[in-house]
Chain A
Amino acid sequence: MSGAPSPAVYPLLLWPQAASQAAVHVDWLIFAFTAVTLLLTVPIFLAITYFALMYRSGRQVDRGHTSDRNVKIELSWMLIPFFLTLAFFAWGAQIFDVEKHAPANALEIQAIGRQWMWKFQHPGGQAEINDLHVPTGQPVLINMISQDVIHSLYLPAFRVQMETLPGRYTQLWFKAERPGQYRLYCSEYCGTDHSVMDGLLYVMSPSDYARWLSQAGSSQSLAALGKRLFSNYGCSGCHGAGATIRAPDLAGLYNRPVPIDGGGSVIADDTYIRDKILNPDNNLIAGYKQVMPSFKGVIPEDELMQLIAYIKTMETSS
């Protein structure tokens, strides 16, 4: 375990802590599902036990009037449990749909999984390892990627997890409501120290969070860091204002369709922009000559996230 003070340790925990209303909602779903499960199974258990004892060989009981088929009964015990449980499919799918669509105003935190640690970057540029501080009352979107194998960011207090994949961004969001310390884990097996790739999740009131941000110390926001990288890596030489080389204009690029050489288009999302920086020769953009060098192996994942953060702000500046 990481050395930080642990969350409340109970000798025997029987119900997990919930840090959000959504988590409580999932608990209700599981609770109701358990109730229906018992409704469907307890009669079977009782019936089997009762029949086994009642009709034991040698007992004198009425064994007559049995039939060996009854289509109506069989259809009903096929279909009634199915439709009963189908309600839970719908309920679960509805919650899942909410989990998949983060509100637009969410605070975006970048996360990188690698063997065997988590790195989080806040929009203000504050970075932390393994532990994560988040404010209450505001939706938080975690945009994450893996640097090596598949990991999975698991936040049981919010009843959510999402895998981090190499080469592709995935997202997870939650709205914290109850301040406290909770655990976070890597839940997808990732090698030697998989079981120590965990940390603590600090849910704080907005003011505490602001205080923590200022103490965590970062002079520059993620976008500002990205802007500096943009010139350091020479991106501004071609993509910047007044560049002599004809390179695609990045202002307003984010989340717009980009026409592809040979027809079709792709949406310029985080994964696309990252891919274009690393492999500019893939999926050439229509109307431009490809002259950009590849930055594969040059720019690390955390700096890629900063560059993308900067490119996103170019949308508003134009």
Chain B
Amino acid sequence: MAEPVGIMLAEHFSTVTQQRQAAKLGLWAWLITELLLFAGLFLCALIIRIQHPASVTLAATHLKFWIGAANTAVLICSSFTMSGAIVLSRIGWRAGMLRFMLATAALGTLFLLLKGFEYYQDYVEHMVPFLSGPYVLAHDQASRLFVDVYFITTALHGVHLITGVSILLVLTWQASRPHFLTRHQNRIEVYGLYWHFIDLIWMIVFPVLYVLNR
């Protein structure tokens, strides 16, 4: 069942280790920028909490806490399946790896579906202040700020997840061809880092928006 595992050396690198480390370091550098991108939103959320504590509590109680919690669990499971794909890629078990990758993509899609349902619920409950229509907390102006941050943060995270699932599907298709693990095993490793990090961001988003002092 096991295939040989390795990577193909690119022209401008001198060793495989160098190439592997470079890819990993490059991805970590990218993850730093992702973290700081979301950190700006967390900072906004914190400042709004400081300036309008009561309004934020009011707005937070209108968020769909249980959908958020379920979604966190879904992403934690997807983290597990991604880890599974990585460990199987290391031992060259391609068929198992592919199944885990598809499962990861499915869980990511499930997250997005739940998220879409949550947005729909928000819409039905008039929790979408920027659309022309009633806003249930219209009497409390400052609550809009927090709801705005909620939508921007979750949408930005959603964009990352959509990108992630798309790349994952392409990668799965590539990996389904023979000799993939022989040449490009580190693509799975590097992609896994990205997926884990999107999950990690959500693990911060969930408490920051839904849980803290709701």
Residues of A within 8 A of B (CB): 260-262, 264, 279, 281-284, 294, 296
Contacts and interface: CB of A to CB of B under 8 A. Distances in A.
Contacts of A279: 140-142
A292 to B, nearest CB: 11
25 contacts: A260-B53, A260-B54, A261-B54, A262-B53, A262-B54, A262-B57, A264-B53, A279-B140, A279-B141, A279-B142, A281-B139, A281-B140, A282-B52, A282-B54, A282-B55, A282-B140, A282-B141, A282-B142, A283-B52, A283-B53, A283-B54, A283-B55, A284-B54, A294-B139, A296-B141
- The B interface is mostly helix, strand or loop, or mixed, namely loop
Nearest to B140: A281
A296 B142 CA distance: 13
A253 to B, nearest CB: 19
Contacts of A261: 54
Given A282-B141, A283-B54, 9 more contacts: A261-B54, A262-B53, A262-B54, A279-B142, A281-B139, A281-B141, A282-B52, A283-B52, A284-B54
Contacts of A294: 139
Most buried by B among A279, A294, A296: A279
Nearest to A262: B54
A279 B143 CA distance: 11
Most buried by B among A282, A294, A296: A282
A282 B141 CA distance: 7
Contacts of A282: 52, 54-55, 140-142
A154 to B, nearest CB: 27
A284 B55 CA distance: 9
Contacts of A260: 53-54
Interface string B116-154: 000000000000000000000001111000000000000
A227 B140 CA distance: 28
Nearest to A293: B139
Interface in B60-107: none
Nearest to A290: B139
A296 B139 CA distance: 11
Contacts of B53: 260, 262, 264, 283
Nearest to B137: A281
B144 to A, nearest CB: 11
